[in-house]
Amino acid sequence: MEHMTQTAQNVQQVTQTAQLTQLKTTETLNLLDSLELTILEKSFSVCKIKDTSDVNFMHPFVFLSKTDEEISLVCESEHVPSNVIVAEPDWRAFRIAGTLDFSLVGVVASITSVLAKASISVFVISTYNTDYVFLKSYDFERAVSLIRNV
């Protein structure tokens, strides 16, 4: 009798997990349907820089982060500063159009989960207004197509 009860509980847990997975998948698809992507027609580089002295903040796309270990910069490839330590070129990007409310949950996850299933790596930068998704140039068109056709 105890074995039957345990089996019934296991079946119930599996059923609940499957229902939750289906619900999460549906929520992801609905969220992706509501997002508008803006393609940035630029080529970007992800850089590690010595300092910010050669960074031109007048360019339209300058993403800078500083930690106790490094200073990272993402900028248009044509504007990589001269004091770069290392730069990885050939990134393309899109942003989520509009301003995203901080209470929104799962925006980046809905995009990255679709791309992860296709083995496409991403680099994401979040700003106050929105999220920017960077992909290697060779994956970009396929990635955008996957997101738009979910």
Cα separation of 54 and 57, whole Å?
Answer: 9
> Are residues 68 and 4 both part of a single domain?
no
DSSP structure class, residue 131: E
**Of the candidates 127, 114, 144, 107, which has an alpha carbon nearest to the alpha carbon of residue 64?**
127
Could you tell me the residue range of the domain that residue 49 belongs to? 36-148
How much is the average pLDDT of 43-70?
97
Cβ-Cβ contacts under 8 Å for 22 (sequence gap 6 or more): none
pLDDT band for position 11 (cuts 50, 70, 90): very low
Q: What is the pTM of this model?
A: 0.74
> Are residues 86 and 22 both part of a single domain?
no
> Are residues 102 and 40 both part of a single domain?
yes
> Are residues 20 and 66 both part of a single domain?
no
Tally the domains of the chain.
2
- What tens digit of pLDDT does each residue of 88-124 get? 999 999 988 655 554 555 667 788 888 999 999 999 9
> Are residues 93 and 25 both part of a single domain?
no
> Are residues 84 and 110 both part of a single domain?
yes
How much is the average pLDDT of 13-35?
46
Q: Percent of the chain scored above 70 by pLDDT? A: 70
Give 136's strand partners.
Answer: 91
**Amino acid 97: pLDDT:** 67
> Are residues 69 and 8 both part of a single domain?
no
Residue pointed to by tokens 């010595």? 50
> Are residues 15 and 44 both part of a single domain?
no
Give 88's strand partners.
Answer: 46
CATH number at residue 74: 3.30.2130.10
